[in-house]
Amino acid sequence: LKDHYDVIIIGSGGAGLTAAIQAHELGLSPVILEKMDKLGGNTTRASSGMNAAETSVQLDHKIVDSFEEFYNETYVGGGKQNNTELLKFFTEHGALAIDWLAQHDIKLDDITITGGMKTMRTHRPSTLAPIGGYLVTELLKWIAKDEIPLFDNIKVTDLLLEDGHIAGVKADAANEVQIKAPSVILATGGFGAGKDLLAKYRSDLLNLRTTNQPGATGDGLKLAEKVGAKLVDMDQVQVHPTVQQDTPHAFLIGEAVRGEGAILVNNAGQRFVNELDTRKNVTKAIDDLGGTGAYLILDRDIRNRVKAIEFYDHVGLVTTGQTIAELAAEINVNADKLEQTISKWNQAVKNHNDTDFGRTTGMERDISDGPFYAIHIAPAVHYTMGGVAINHQTQVLNEAGKAIAGLFAAGEVVGGLHGNNRIGGNSIAETVVFGRQAGQQVFKYLS
């Protein structure tokens, strides 16, 4: 660890790694500091993919999309509370980010869909491996190749200011250290595992479990607030509808399972919601069942489209039945009812018309190819939409809306982009889009 760098990047998730590579490629000397002994943050847990519109990958799949539709669907999904300046930049730079990744041999050639969208724009690796682990592994290869210094087990505890400009950080390593730099990028993620901040902003969610890694405690928000940054939308916390939590670990069962064709049923074996409505609406529908959760139901064909299910099965989260009746018995649901529900659903898929709940996506395949599978799920705290206020140059803003000189932020630590509900696939996208932007804007600031 040197005592001086051009830019200190706090956090080794998608936003931090992307920002570091971008800054390095522009000739700066960055350092990445990570407080945990595990790299990659919540990014490693992301399962669905990366949303972007007007990409060449979409055209390869004969999907014609537009920035405007991407903007509108994200805006409607976010309750029209999104920061429109950030949303515009975000939706118009996803395709460039997909290309940038491809130039770095990170190929997201396959495409799927998540809740709240009408168009397939969720890009993922063609191996169908979960996006997060893949992205972090591949970005870390570039960090190594570029010889960008990265230290784990170093927790940043303060930002240093001199005459209103960022001048470095204080951090806890083995001892307390001071590292000087004229710029800092906050890439510290959210506060889904931060009980104190949840207690302050959303005490109603304190009893829920979380899908987040234990380091997601909102440090970046506290660091930024201490130097005068404005925080926005702090009470907007996303609860993910489909989390398996019957074991000590809460496993998020990604939207791709529904995107590829799974349905949700209640204890009576009946559907109760458009499974690909927004996370907010699906969560509410499951909550309204009275606290028992629900079951994702799928067949072998759907399972084969989502690599992660092999893993879920391996750790014991999946119930299997050779027939629908056998599956129903395993999960204690009335067999006739479940058979009726599935046969009605298969008819809806065939006619592409879900008369019960108006689902229009994730209807490429029916549920007819045994064995059949069920996964018990319930909602859990997943993502914090609130965070530090930035402009589209990723400059952190103070209460008066003025940039704090030298302080930048990207990724989940930022507030405003998602309004009151984040669409699946937009968080990986925001780490790459705004991570790149932060690297570029730091370069401009220092030039």
Pairing of strands 403-409, 251-252: unpaired
**DSSP letter assigned to residue 353:** -
- Partners of 387 in beta bridges: 232
Query: Do the Cβ atoms of 181 and 7 come closer than 8 Å?
Result: yes
| Identity of the residue, 195 or 352, whose beta carbon is nearer to ligand ADP in the bound complex | 195
Of 47-55, 211-219, 295-303, 327-335, the window that binds ligand ADP (rule: CB under 6 A) is 211-219
Mask 159-198, x = binds ligand ADP (CB under 6 A)? ----------------------------xxx---------
Using CB under 6 A, which residues numbered 103 to 162 contact ligand ADP? 155-156
- Cα of 151 vs its chain's centroid, Å: 24
Q: How far apart are CB 133 and ligand ADP at their closest, in Å?
A: 12
Sort 99 into a burial class: Cβ within 10 Å, 0-12 / 13-18 / 19+. middle
Select from 399, 403, 411 the least CA-distant residue to 436.
411
- Cα of 408 vs its chain's centroid, Å: 20
Judged by CB under 6 A, which of 5, 6, 7, 12 binds ligand ADP? 12
- Partners of 162 in beta bridges: 165
| Identity of the residue, 158 or 326, whose beta carbon is nearer to ligand ADP in the bound complex | 158
φ and ψ of 335, to 5 deg:
-65, -45
| Identity of the residue, 13 or 130, whose beta carbon is nearer to ligand ADP in the bound complex | 13
Interaction between residue 265 and ligand ADP (CB under 6 A): no
Using CB under 6 A, which residues numbered 19 to 38 contact ligand ADP? 33-36
Q: How far apart are CB 221 and ligand ADP at their closest, in Å?
A: 10
Judged by CB under 6 A, which of 411, 416, 419, 439 binds ligand ADP? 411
Pairing of strands 237-244, 372-384: antiparallel
- The label of the residue with tokens 């999946």 reads 318
Rounded to 10 deg, the angle between the 84-103 and 426-446 helix axes is 90
Residue of 258, 279, 305, 436 marked active site: 279
- Cα angle vertex 196, ends 399, 150, to 5°? 75
Interaction between residue 321 and ligand ADP (CB under 6 A): no
Interaction between residue 210 and ligand ADP (CB under 6 A): no
Interaction between residue 425 and ligand ADP (CB under 6 A): no
Tokens of 154: 């170093």
Q: How far apart are CB 422 and ligand ADP at their closest, in Å?
A: 12
202 is catalytic: no
- The label of the residue with tokens 């629908």 reads 324
Judged by CB under 6 A, which of 6, 8, 9, 14 binds ligand ADP? 14
Q: How far apart are CB 234 and ligand ADP at their closest, in Å?
A: 16
Query: Do the Cβ atoms of 234 and 265 come closer than 8 Å?
Result: no
Residues that contact ligand ADP, how many (by CB under 6 A): 27
Interaction between residue 431 and ligand ADP (CB under 6 A): yes
- Positions that interact with ligand ADP (CB under 6 A): 10-16, 33-36, 41-43, 155-156, 187-189, 215-216, 219-220, 411-413, 431
Residues catalogued as catalytic: 279
